[in-house]
Amino acid sequence: MAAMSRTIDRHRTAGWFRIVAFTEAVTWVGLLVGMYFKYLGSPRTEIGVKIFGMAHGLVFIAFVVVAVLLGMAFKWSATTWLLALLGSIVPLGSVIFLMWAERTGRTVAKGTAATAPPVA
């Protein structure tokens, strides 16, 4: 497993994680809107659930896969893993987890320009 974490490009994986987290949130919102029109809206239609349900399912799987890769690359603790998986289930939780992970340095390698103090 240690060899695997050395072969993962941290910067590229973090970029993909950012994209997938935002996409997961957008598909969640689309699915919620689709569910509104399926059960409460006028006219009632299932097309939103069919489209966004499939899209969200695929992006959800991508989020979990990229989170696993990122967690391996940055050697996340069990708590961070749990929060990432919880963020994938709660609506818009992926973006909340992403913001927290970036703010606390869990998606940036130590010693890079992103964590270095600003030059005056």
* pLDDT band of 43, cuts 50, 70, 90: confident
**pTM of this prediction?**
0.79
Tens of pLDDT, residue by residue over 90-118, are: 989 999 999 999 999 998 866 554 544 44
pLDDT for position 52: 94
The pair of structure tokens assigned to 78 is 């069990």
Q: Environment class of residue 38 by beta-carbon count within 10 Å: exposed (0-12), middle (13-18) or buried (19+)?
A: middle
